[in-house]
Amino acid sequence: MNGAMLVDIVYSGTYLETAVIGKLLEQGVVTPSAYLPNDFDIVLAASNVLRRNELNDSTASIEIKEENYNIILENGWISFAVSLFPNARYFTEGEQEAFEGYKRKHFKRFKLNL
């Protein structure tokens, strides 16, 4: 695959496609190219090609054979998303209380009789 093949691809997609493309990147089936603005666009564009192939869409400009990738479902996506934020944390109790205090101070109080 090269950038020229990807230029006309209209972007759309789902997270699942990104996961699939991750596998393609790993296997060297897809490589970043200077033809598109950034690497991530390459990933998204390539994912579209995948989808078109899966739908047997004749407009797909390349062919990626099934044996070249494994569909990676939710577990892979979750694992990836969590890895993006290695230092993720909850608000501390003090931070929570400060935020709640802000709301108590600035929000309107009212009652609903349901």
Partner 1 sequence: MSKEFVEVLKELFPPFSNTTKENLKKLITKHAENPSFIFESSIPQEIRQGDIVTNIPFQTLYEGDEYLGKRLSGMMISTTCDFEHEKTVLFAPGYDIDVFKECFGEDPDKLRDLRNNAIYDKFYLPAYLGVSELIIDFNGINSFSVNYIKEIISKKTSQRVSSLAQNGYYYLLCKLTVHFLRPEGNEILRSDIIS
Contacts of 2 (CB under 8 A, 6+ apart): 33, 35
**Structure-block tokens of residue 100:** 């709640």
The single residue among 25, 29, 60, 62 that binds partner 1, judged by CB under 8 A, is: 25
**Part in contact with partner 1 (CB under 8 A); list of ranges 1-9, 49-57, 58-66, 94-102:** 94-102
Tell me if 15 sits within 8 A of 71, measured CB to CB: no
Binding status of residue 35 toward partner 1 by CB under 8 A: no
Tell me if 22 sits within 8 A of 80, measured CB to CB: yes
Binding interface with partner 1 (CB under 8 A): 11-13, 15, 18-19, 22-23, 25-26, 38-41, 43-44, 70, 72-85, 87-91, 95, 98-99, 101-104, 106-113
